[in-house]
Amino acid sequence: MPASPTPALPARHLAALARSAQPVFLVGLSHFARRVAANAILQKWIGADMDSAAPPVDLALLLPAAREDGSPGRSIGIDAVKSFVDRLCLTPYAGPLRAGFVEPASALTIESQNALLRYVEEPTVTSRILFSSRRSDDLIPTLLSRCRVVRLPGSAGDRGEAKWIMNLSGSEETEETVLKLYEILDDAEAVEKILEFRLARKAIDLFDAVSAGKRPSDKSVAAFMDRRIPAADGSALLVEIVLAAVCSNLRHPEPDRRLLDVARRLLVLQAELRYNPSRLLVFSAVQEWLDGLSEGYG
């Protein structure tokens, strides 16, 4: 992956970021674009990046910890932050600086962000921190205000992004399938989860059925509520896909207006899931929108 300036980070902008001791926050829909931009900045800071042949000795990564079964985690806890800060405070080995990369910022708990805030307020002179996420409000306001925010243009879903996600996840899906998922969701993290849980075909079938005004099969719905999938992940993905399909239907020249009520209920559920991702809540709500789709459908 190139570490040279990208269209999102012109050489002059990149040089200014390299000179600044202020934390940098990369914000953009495309995971691929954020990764390329992060590597370009890291090359300026420590002369190496995340795709270097050997792991950079002066790079500390703060990522969601793997679960007990080895699958990727979805949150970054306080213990991981403490270890990360300890590494940043070490004396640089290969150059004048140590760098820390946090991805995605949305995975940080409130406690984790407050712990990072204390470090950001009194950093060591030889360290730099780089945050990355889809939205700027993934950081609490007090931490966000101390960052230099770089908004990357473009959206998720080009072929470079698709290939990147396929390589990252080890997915055997075709490039066309991955691009179709992006067309549905335009969300790199959601696409990663769908590939991780091997739900690509179910997700597309679910979307196609609802967007065509049909009741989705029970199997396609049940796939997202599988016990092997964390409740928060399966629930959120299910709602996101069905909501996208409903919105797609409503954009048709002759939309089914009965889906407006389904869309309203899904939007309420979407907000509730941010605070209470329980399976009971989702099972109840899923039955509601299935009943809504059943009215008048074959």
Rounded CA separation 177/208 (Å): 13
121, 36: one domain: yes
* Same domain membership, residue 224 and residue 124: no
E strands, the chain, where? 24-27, 59-62, 98-102, 127-133, 148-151
- Lookup: tokens for 289: 């929108």
Domain co-membership, 132 together with 235: no
Q: Where a domain ends, among 118, 151, 184?
A: 151
Predicted confidence at residue 97, as pLDDT, reads 92
Q: Which residue, of 116, 132, 151, is where some domain finishes?
A: 151
**Angle at alpha carbon of residue 109, lines to 102 and 40, rounded to 5°:** 10
> Does one domain contain both 142 and 243?
no
Strands of the 127-133 sheet, one edge to the other: 59-62, 98-102, 127-133, 24-27, 148-151
Q: SS3 letters for 90-152?
A: CCCCCCCCEEEEECCHHHECHHHHHHHHHHHHCCCCCEEEEEEECCHHHCCHHHHCCCEEEEC
Tens place of pLDDT per residue across the chain (298 aa): 333 334 456 677 777 888 888 999 998 877 777 888 888 899 999 998 887 777 789 999 998 876 554 445 678 989 999 999 999 999 999 889 999 999 999 989 999 999 999 999 988 899 999 999 988 889 999 999 999 998 876 554 455 556 655 555 555 677 778 888 888 887 777 887 888 888 999 999 989 988 887 878 878 888 888 878 887 788 888 888 888 888 888 888 887 777 777 777 777 777 666 666 566 666 666 666 666 665 544 3
- Residues 126, 183: Cα–Cα separation, whole Å: 42
CATH at residue 114: 3.40.50.300
Q: What is the pLDDT of residue 246?
A: 82
Identify the pLDDT of residue 110: 92
80 occurs within a structural domain: yes
- Name the domain count of the chain: 2
pLDDT attached to residue 284: 67
Both 134 and 207 in a single domain? no
Asked if residue 212 belongs to a domain, the reply is yes
Q: Is there a domain that residue 222 lies in?
A: yes
The span from the CA of 224 to the CA of 238, in Å, is 6
- Per residue in 64-105, pLDDT (tens digit) is 876 554 445 678 989 999 999 999 999 999 889 999 999 999
Boundary of a domain, candidates 126, 151, 176? 151
User: In this structure, is residue 137 part of a structural domain?
Assistant: yes
Q: Which domain holds residue 32?
A: 11-151
Residue 111 falls inside a structural domain: yes
Q: Are residues 134 and 212 in the same domain?
A: no
42 vs 44: CA distance, rounded Å: 5
Within a domain: residue 162?
no
Q: Report how far residue 240's alpha carbon sits from residue 147's, in angstroms, rounded to the nearest whole number.
A: 30
Model confidence pTM above 0.85: no
Q: What is the CB neighbour count within 10 angstroms for residue 197?
A: 20
pLDDT for position 31: 73
pLDDT tens for each residue of 228-244:
888 778 888 888 888 88
The whole-number pLDDT of residue 256 equals: 76
